[in-house]
Amino acid sequence: MNGEWVKSNSREIIEVINPATENPCACVPGGNREDVNAAVASARQAFNSWAHTSSEKRAAIMNAVADEMQHRTDDLVDAHVITMGCPRHLTAGLHIDAPIKAMRFYADRARQMEEVEEKGSVLLLKEPIGVCALINPWNYPLHQLIGKVAPALAAGCTIITKPSGQTPLQDFIMAEIFAAVGLPPGVFNLVSGSGSVIGPNMSSHPDVDMISFTGSTYAGIKVAAAAAPTVKRVCQELGGKSPYIITKDADLKAAVRYGVEDVMLNTGQTCNALTRMLVPRSRYEEAVNIARKIAEENIVGDPNDKSVTMGPLASASQKQIVLKYIKTGIAEGARIVTGGIDMPPGLHFGAYVQPTIFADVSSEMVISREEIFGPVLCMIVYDDIEAAIEMANDTVYGLSSGVYAKDKTSAIKIARQIRAGQCYIQGSYFNLEAPFGGYKQSGNGREWGDHAMHEYIETKAIIA
Ligand code: NAD
C-alpha cells in the first residue's frame, strides 16, 4: 500500500497448497480490518491526483504495465501453474496473453474520459467513481484482476484489491510491476486475506465508492448486502449453468467437439462454461458417442508434462465438491458416458478428476441446475426447438449460452430468445470487445468491452 510493502497488522498466514503435488507452494499474510482501513486510506489519498492526471499519461503508464507483464510472463505463468495446476504449456495462452492485451485495450479507452457530450444546453462529463474495492476468485486469477484493474485505472480510479486465498501470487507480481513502471503510490493497493474476514470490511467500508466482485452467487449476495448501507455501486460477476443448444441440422461433429472442449477447458473451472448441452432426440446417441470420444482424448496429469491437456482442479476442496456432484448425478439416475469418481488412470495423489460426461440428464436433476465447476458435462435431450429454448432458460442463472445451428442467421434467431448476457454461436470464443456479465442471479453490471468502463465512471450533467 502507498507504493510500499508493509507488514500486515495480523499474524495470520495463508498457506497455499499446490493442487498437483499437495505440498505448500506459497505463504501470504491473512490481512485484517486494520490492513483494509490502511489500504483504503492510501487509495483515497491517491485518488484526486490520479483522477486529474491526463488520460494520455494514464494510458502511457498502462502501456508500460503491459510491456512489463510481457517481460514477466514466465513469473505469471509459474504463479498459475503452482497455485491452480494449469498445464504449463497452455498457461500463457489461457491465462496471460489476454490480460496483457486487455491492459493495452483499456489504455486506449482512457481518452474516453475527456470526451464531453453536449445535448442542447446540457453538458455531460465523465468522472471516475473513486476508490474501488476489487475481489476475485481463483479460476482465472490474472484475467479477472486485469478485467477490473485496467478499466478502473483508465477511468482514473484508485484501487484496493483482494485475491483469492488459493491464487494470490499474480496480484503480488502485479504490485511489483506497477511499482516498476512508476504507477503513483496509493493507486494500486493489495491486501491478501480470507474472504469471510476482510471481504465484509471491503464491502461495507464507507470510503469505498464501488465494489466489483467476481465469485459465487452465495458470496456475491453477502457483498451486496454488506455494501447496501453505504449505497456504493456494486458490480457482481457470479455463477452460471449455461445452456448450449445444438440444432438438428447443425454440423454435429464440430458442434459437439466445441461443446466438450469448452466444458473441459481449465479443468472445467470456467464460469461461462456451456455445461448443459441440449441435443435433438434424432441425433442424441450419435452426439453422446462423439462427446465420449472427445472427452477421452484428454490427457490428465502433471502440469509440467507437455503432453498433458488437463491439470488437477485448483484445490482438494474443489475436488470434493465435484466428486459429490458426480455421485449425486449417479444417484439421480443420469448415465455416466465416461469419467466418474475414480482417480484418472496412473494418478495416485493430487486434486485430479476424470473428464466426465453424463447423458440422460433431465432439467430437474441437481446436476443440471447447480454449478459444478469441474470437468463435467450434462447432455440433455429435446424434442423441438421451443422445448430446447424453454429448458435453456429454465435456470436461476443467465451468464452465458451457446447455439450451434445450420448457419449464423438461424443461430442468431435462437440466441435472441435465450436470457443470458452472452451467446456464443457457431463455435465462437471469448472476445475482449464483448461485454461479459449476467442476467438473473449471474450478476449485475458488465466487464470487458467498452461497457466495463461504465462500471468505474460517474456521469455529471452541467446544465446551462
Ligand atoms: P467464492 O465466492 O468462494 O470466492 C470469490 C472471492 O470472494 C474470493 O476472493 C473469496 O475470498 C471472497 N469472499 C468469500 N466470502 C466473501 C464475503 N463474505 N465477502 C466478500 N468476499 C468474499 O468463489 P470461488 O470459489 O473463489 O470462485 C468460483 C465461483 O466464481 C464460481 O461460482 C464461478 O462461477 C464464479 N465466477 C464468476 C465469474 C463471472 O465473471 N461471472 C468469473 C469467474 C468465476
Compute the distance from residue 246 Cα to the ligand 1 centre, in Å.
Answer: 30
CB within 8 Å of 30: residues ≥ 6 apart: 8, 10, 12, 13, 14, 165, 192, 193, 194, 197
Q: Determine if ligand 1 sits within 6 Å of the CB of residue 216.
A: yes
Alpha helices (runs of H) in 333-376, residue ranges in sequence order: 366-369
Contact 212, 188 (CB under 8 A): no
Nearest CA to ligand 1 atom 18: 196
Residue 163 CA, closest ligand 1 atom number: 9
Give pLDDT, residue 122: 98
Q: Which of 157, 235, 271, 378 is catalytic?
A: 271
Cα first-last separation, the chain? 42
Averaged pLDDT, 1-19: 97
Alpha helices (runs of H) in 238-396, residue ranges in sequence order: 252-264, 284-296, 316-332, 366-369, 385-393
Residue 444 has which C-alpha cell? 449485475
Give pLDDT, residue 271: 97
Q: Determine if ligand 1 sits within 6 Å of the CB of residue 10.
A: no
Residue 137 CA, closest ligand 1 atom number: 26
Compute the distance from residue 414 Cα to the ligand 1 centre, in Å.
Answer: 31
Contact 269, 373 (CB under 8 A): yes
Compute the distance from residue 54 Cα to the ligand 1 centre, in Å.
Answer: 34
Report the C-alpha gap between 405 and 411 in whole angstroms: 5
How far is residue 256 from each of residues 233, 285, 342, measured CA to CA in Å?
Answer: 40, 12, 25
Q: Determine if ligand 1 sits within 6 Å of the CB of residue 238.
A: yes
Q: Which of 237, 371, 447, 455 is catalytic?
A: 237
Q: 378 an active-site residue?
A: no
Residue 447 CA, closest ligand 1 atom number: 40
Across all residues in the chain, what is the average pLDDT?
98
Sheet containing strand 117-119, strands side by side: 117-119, 122-128, 457-463
Compute the distance from residue 135 Cα to the ligand 1 centre, in Å.
Answer: 8
Percent of the chain with pLDDT over 70: 100
Averaged pLDDT, 328-345: 98
Q: Determine if ligand 1 sits within 6 Å of the CB of residue 137.
A: yes
Band of residue 401 on the pLDDT scale cut at 50, 70, 90: very high
Band of residue 423 on the pLDDT scale cut at 50, 70, 90: very high
Continuous segment of H or E residues that includes residue 41: helix 33-51
Whether this model's pTM surpasses 0.85: yes
> Among 35, 27, 32, which residue's Cα sits nearest to residue 6?
35
Q: 25 an active-site residue?
A: no
Give pLDDT, residue 229: 98
Strand partners, 132: 159, 210
Averaged pLDDT, 135-144: 98
pLDDT in tens, 348-368: 999 999 999 999 999 999 999
Percent of the chain with pLDDT over 90: 100
Give pLDDT, residue 46: 98
Nearest CA to ligand 1 atom 35: 215
Q: Determine if ligand 1 sits within 6 Å of the CB of residue 171.
A: no
Describe the chain by its helix, strand, coil percentages, rounded to 5: 45, 20, 35
Averaged pLDDT, 386-402: 98
Averaged pLDDT, 121-149: 98
